[in-house]
Chains A and B, each alone.
Chain A
Amino acid sequence: MDKLIYLDNAATTRTAPEVVEAMLPYFTEHYGNPSSVYGFASANKEVIAKQREIIAGVLGAKANEIYFTAGGTESDNWALTATAEAYAEKGKHIITSRIEHHAILHTCAYLEKRGYEVTYLDVDENGLVDPAAVEAAIRPDTILISIMFANNEIGTIEPIAEIGKIARAHGVLFHTDAVQAFAHVPINVDECNIDMLSASGHKLNGPKGIGFLYIRKGVKIRSFIHGGAQERKRRAGTENVPGIVGLGKAVELAAASMKERMDRETEIRDYLISRIGKEIPYCRLNGDRTKRLPNNVNFSFRFIEGESLLIMLDMKGICASSGSACTSGSLDPSHVLLAIGLPHEIAHGSLRMTLDEEMTKEDVDYVVDNLKEIVAQLRSMSPLYEDFVKKQEKNQ
């Protein structure tokens, strides 16, 4: 099978060749430790500063508000645990949503075991957090609100500007996990009143294992990794220079092409959504129809299970993902799909396709043509479908 259609860009992306090229000299030529005194190495300090500026520029932030980390998970962990500690005297209450990534949810569970209280806000059937519910959940002891910019499974873009306004009005810190959104859709930290923002390189055609946390100047935050004086003493450890250079390059490229990429991906996304919606019966689009990442398509197909769907698609050279239990390593399907109110058996039959700007209409046609056949084939062997058909016949 030569054909490969990669529809899992929310899991990770291809590192852009320009990014790899930009990184390479920092392994073999400019390998010096940025903290060293001699010019050969200390030049790398300026290289890092340059990347910080590029990233800050895209967010409307200042360069000294960008802290490099080892990726989205670390940024999320840091934002939550370190603010929790730094603001413990004010209170121990945190507000988040039920559909956050596990990097947030499991960190919240960790804090709960240590005396913090967490309010997990419900979302509506499209995965939207209600800003009024955020406001209603704020208490005198609330120290942090953390709501993701866009959801990694269903692509819903949250009302971040409204939530930021509420957080600011109540004097509560606001963190957003923008791992799926940064450099994919425009984000301005001042316009949205964002105090902290997590992002990751490998979701935007950059390298894996590098990301950053934006921390607004004035936010009290403890250091998370203790050691040397790197990252203004807040995140110790010799800098991942090649990674930082790669991240900077990826952000630069992504920001420069964002507008066209969004238009192009949105067009392809909508074509994919409309073909599936029209041609495959008993399916449901998960996530908001319009407040949606340009590259995200997520459908549930009734009566079938996601893992078998993925294996069959794989045999056709199509790479996608599912929120089914069998693909999550637990017995429960995705917490996001359950939070938007899907019954278990429908959540098991979900399929996420996250595209990139290289996807063409012909690719979409190939995917939908195969998907139609596979869904029909799996339904023909599904006892749930059999029961459904028999019930329908009876009712006629």
Chain B
Amino acid sequence: MYTEKVMDHFQHPRNVGEIENASGVGTVGNAKCGDIMRIYLDIDEDQIIRDVKFKTFGCGAAVATSSMATELVKGKSVQEAMEVTNKAVMEALDGLPPVKVHCSLLAEEAIHAALWDYAEKNGIKIEGLEKPKSDIHEGEEEEEEEY
């Protein structure tokens, strides 16, 4: 079901943990749907992401996408981190099963939420960054009518 990369990041997730007094923290998803991601960013004066940690409640893909997303933004500038899209996360993982694509969206959303928190705290504006939605699942995947 999962690629080797996904399994690797699930079995050996990178950057699990918390950052005390983080520059920005973002939590997205909801327990109702079965995935929640929280990302901590440590950002220096030059707006470089020095450290990043995550915690995730969710399936194998949710863990792997969080792990990959943290790898992709680590050491990047805030502006560069904005380019880490769900597509980039998926590609880096060699793809996800169609039903798990929402996990990669959640990972992108979690990064954005943490960046938003950082921007708010510091009174700065990050180009292209919008206020995160609290629940990305809303309105998604209506079940098909049968019978």
Number of interface residues of B (CB under 8 A): 30
Give how many A-B residue pairs fall within 8 Å (CB-CB).
74
Residue from the set B18, B32, B140 with the largest chain A CB neighbour count within 10 Å: B32
User: Any chain B CB within 8 A of the CB of A308?
Assistant: yes
User: Any chain B CB within 8 A of the CB of A380?
Assistant: yes
Could you tell me the distance between the alpha carbons of A345 and B58 in the complex, rounded to whole angstroms? 10
Inside 8 A of B27's CB, which chain A residues have their CB?
Answer: 383
Could you tell me the distance between the alpha carbons of A315 and B137 in the complex, rounded to whole angstroms? 30
1/0 per residue A334-374: CB within 8 Å of B?
Answer: 00000000011100100000000000000000000000000
Could you tell me the distance between the alpha carbons of A315 and B55 in the complex, rounded to whole angstroms? 22
Residues facing A in B25-44 (CB within 8 A) are 27, 31-38
In the complex the two chains form, is B63's CB within 8 Å of A381's CB?
A: yes
Number of interface residues of A (CB under 8 A): 28
Q: How far is the CB of B55 from chain A (nearest CB, A)?
A: 4
Could you tell me the distance between the alpha carbons of A332 and B143 in the complex, rounded to whole angstroms? 11
In the complex the two chains form, is B55's CB within 8 Å of A305's CB?
A: no
Binding stretch for chain A, among B9-17, B79-87, B112-120? B9-17
Residue from the set A331, A343, A344, A386 with the largest chain B CB neighbour count within 10 Å: A331
In the complex the two chains form, is B141's CB within 8 Å of A386's CB?
A: no
Question: A304-B57, A380-B16, A384-B57 are contacts. A344–B63 as well, Cβ < 8 Å?
Answer: no
In the complex the two chains form, is A333's CB within 8 Å of B10's CB?
A: no
Partner of A311, one of B38, B54, B60: B60
In the complex the two chains form, is B59's CB within 8 Å of A324's CB?
A: yes
Partner of B34, one of A326, A380, A381: A326
B7 closest partner in A (C-beta): A311
Q: How far is the CB of B111 from chain A (nearest CB, A)?
A: 15
B99 closest partner in A (C-beta): A329
User: Any chain B CB within 8 A of the CB of A41?
Assistant: no
User: Any chain B CB within 8 A of the CB of A303?
Assistant: yes
Apart from A110-B147, A311-B60, list 16 A-B contacts with CB within 8 A: A305-B34, A305-B59, A307-B58, A308-B59, A308-B62, A311-B7, A324-B59, A325-B33, A326-B34, A326-B58, A344-B33, A345-B57, A382-B55, A383-B55, A383-B57, A386-B38
* A contact residues vs B (CB 8 Å cutoff): 109-110, 113, 303-305, 307-308, 311, 315, 324-326, 329-331, 333, 343-345, 348, 380-386
